[in-house]
Structure 1
Amino acid sequence: MANHAQIAPFSWGDVSLSQAVHVNGIPHATKIAIGEWLEYSFPRESINKILERNPYLEAFSVEVNLTSTDGKNYDTTVYHPMGFLLIVMESGQPKAQAAKVAIAAFVWHFCGGQDIAAKDAIQLRQVLLKTLAALQSCHCAFSQRILLDQVRDVCRQLRQPIPDLSLIGKDPKQTALEGF
């Protein structure tokens, strides 16, 4: 069991939870908070039913000691963000269904499921070349990090590997071509 914890609201993007506890710097949600977010009429009871049907979800929880409004301490189970997400995935609520679609779209996008139009690919390659040229002449560490992030982002959008940045600025004759 984790030590005595402070309960507080937590928000990130579209997720606003009425009750969360930070455990090792990671926000963990209570059953009530998850059930409220999913818009159940009986939040705790509804989440308990999901947990009864899916005992594997308990692996994503931890017990913490909380002080309630009556001043008494209670051991309370809270759920890691992975547990929160898995509980949402097991729910049939409309909000859960929308979250499932959003997650599927996210996975589809990052697994290469979204085609890039030829015109967009050409523009992205032009941005990549300009960014690499700027990186070659940049001597500011802060600016280099921003440019490197832009290179990574463009390569991700193009679904291609990040180029070997150690070759930037070198004459092709300076690099040995292996295997040729």
Structure 2
Amino acid sequence: MTQHTPMPFHWGQIELTQAVFIDGIPHITKTAVGEWLEYAEPRVAINNILTRNSYVDCYSTDINLISVDGKNRDTKVYHPIGFLLLVMESGQPKAQAMKVAVAEFVWHFAGPVNISDKERNGYIREIERLTDKLAVCRDAMVYKQTWITLQHYCRLAAWPMPELPLLGKEPQQMVLEVLP
């Protein structure tokens, strides 16, 4: 196992005391996350969050860390996605501010767009064309790229994504819902 020496990490308004780079990506220690969130007992607080939200561990890596006292310790470090998930599960004031910032970021890219009926109808025609293409596509790479393009046009048109399980079925194969 490779030994890693923690170092400070700064990005925008995020200043973390302990991070290591793995394949060029900063990974953060529990202590650094807890300190950034301003917990009185940083590591204990993050361990409590992890106990309630074990799914976050999917975004961690076990490493051998050289601590400030020069000793080697096996520990987990968290990928930036894991860092963000830990922050999202926290109730600290900094976490709440980060949640608002993330929500505003998402709204900026996914919020309503004012487009003309003519433009929307063009997008809908493209959605129909791409859906037809998906229904007969046999190549995985072409299918994936067409799906990505379809998602893009659905977002542009503020139109719901088609239901994939229905692709390729004959209309008489589909079960109709019984309305009350």
Evaluate the alpha carbon distance shift between residue 57 and residue 96 of structure 1 in structure 2; reply closer, same or farther with a 3 A threshold. Answer: same
2:105 is aligned with what amino acid?
F
Q: Which residue of 2 aligns with 1:74?
A: 73
The alignment of Structure 1 onto Structure 2 pairs a total of residues equal to 120
Percentage identity across paired residues of the two chains? 61
The match for 2:59 is 60
**Deviation by residue 1:66-88 (Cα, 9 ceiling, x = unmatched):** 11222221111100000000000
Find the counterpart in structure 1 of residue 91 from structure 2: 92
Amino acid of the structure 2 residue aligned with 1:16? E
1:13 Cα offset (Å): 0.6
Q: Does 1:35 align with 2:24?
A: no
* Contact 1:108/1:114 (8 A) holds in 2: no
1:25-174 matched pairs, under 5 angstroms: 25-113=24-112
Structure 2 distance, partners of 1:114, 1:97, is 27
Moved over 6 A (4+): none
Q: Distance in 1 between matches of 2:5 and 2:66?
A: 8
Please report how far the alpha carbon of residue 39 of structure 1 lies from its aligned counterpart in structure 2 after TM superposition: 0.6
Q: Which amino acid aligns with 1:92?
A: G
Amino acid of the structure 2 residue aligned with 1:103: V
Unaligned runs of 5+ in 1: 117-158, 161-180
Q: Secondary structure at the match of 1:51?
A: helix
Is the Cα–Cα contact under 8 Å of residues 5 and 67 in structure 2 kept in the other structure?
no
- Could you tell me how far 1:115 is from its partner in structure 2? 6.3
d(CA) in 1 for partners of 2:2, 2:27: 14
Distance in 1, matches of 2:108 and 2:68, equals 45
SS in 2 for 1:98: helix
Shift in CA distance, 19/99, structure 1 to aligned 2, threshold 3 Å: same
CA RMSD of aligned residues (A): 2.3
Residue 112 of structure 1: CA displacement? 3.1
Verify the 8 A CA contact 1:31 1:44 in the aligned structure 2: yes
Judged with a 3 Å threshold, the aligned counterparts in structure 2 of structure 1 residues 111 and 21 are, in CA distance, closer, same or farther, namely: same
TM-score in terms of structure 2 length: 0.62
1:71 match: secondary structure: coil
Residue ranges of structure 2 left out of the alignment (5+ in a row): 116-154, 157-180
Secondary structure at the counterpart of residue 9 of structure 2: strand
